[in-house]
Structure 1
Amino acid sequence: MNIKSFNENIEYSDNRVDTKIILETSFSKEIRVLLKNGQTMKEHKAPYPIIVHILEGEIDFGIGDEIKLLQTGDIITLESNVYHDLTAKKNSIVRLTLSKLDDVSRVKKVADNS
């Protein structure tokens, strides 16, 4: 058993989207993404299915030409290789669930290049 918190040490950066691995299990990697109001993660895709859960805040979640407003508590799943982007409408804490096979450094690169 392993207990971690997505709500510890919340510090929004003015300069970049912040990502941090919170927990790694035998089947997934749980990543915290902090987006300050107005910050964007540019369009990207994941090589495996993902789950995006809005723990706090509001995100415009773009998929192709469609934008979905995701709010606190909302959760969305995407199959692999689906292009998407995120724009914070409020300071937001996002839980990103990756496949164990996915590489966390890929997420950091997307955040750093946004």
Structure 2
Amino acid sequence: MDIDREKLKIFRKGGIMEKIKEKEKGIPFNLENEVAYADGSVVSKTLLNSLAGTVTLFSFDAGQGLSEHTAPFDAMVHLLDGEAKITIGGNPNLVSKGDMLIMPANVPHALMAEKPFKMLLIMIRGKQE
């Protein structure tokens, strides 16, 4: 099941994100424990959001995903738990806990939870070469 990108954007703009960002600065935390799984859902938690880029945690329940889309900047994914199929430019990649993958700017990509998974998404905004 794919989720609506607009609903995801609205969900990610919740006021709790700012409180968490302020609370966590300078204090160690465990990434895997910062975002929980939710039945039949995708959950996101923005850790940092600046003009330079964003760092966002996600959890995907099995069968959940993000439909094909593009981003204007490179984005790096680090799987913290589980297993996902990440398709980039039509090429599927099966990634598991500990794997990292760079999704190139302006190339269509999609994510699907083969099993429940958690990931850290790092997007650096800047000039593309």
Structure 1 residue 96 and structure 2 residue 121: aligned? yes
Report the 3-state secondary structure (helix = DSSP H, G, I; strand = E; otherwise coil) of the residue aligned with 1:14.
coil
Report the structure number with the largest CA radius of gyration: 2
Please list every run of 5 or more consecutive structure 1 residues that lacks an aligned counterpart in the other structure: 102-114
Partner of 1:65: 90
CA distance in 2, matches of 1:49, 1:57: 23
TM-score, scaled relative to structure 2: 0.67
Structure 1 contact 49–80 (Cα < 8 Å) conserved: yes
Aligned residues: percent identity?
28
CA apart distance, 1:13: 2.5
Give the alignment of 1:2-41 within 5 angstroms. Answer: 2=26, 3-24=28-49, 27-41=52-66
Residue in 1 aligned with 2:99? 74
Tell me how far 1:99 sits from its aligned partner: 1.8
Aligned to 1:48: 73
Counting strand residues as a fraction of each chain, which structure ranks higher?
A: 1
RMSD (CA atoms): 2.2
Tell me whether 79-88 or 8-17 shows the greater mean CA deviation. 8-17
Q: Higher RCO, 1 or 2 (CA under 8 Å, sep at least 6)? A: 1
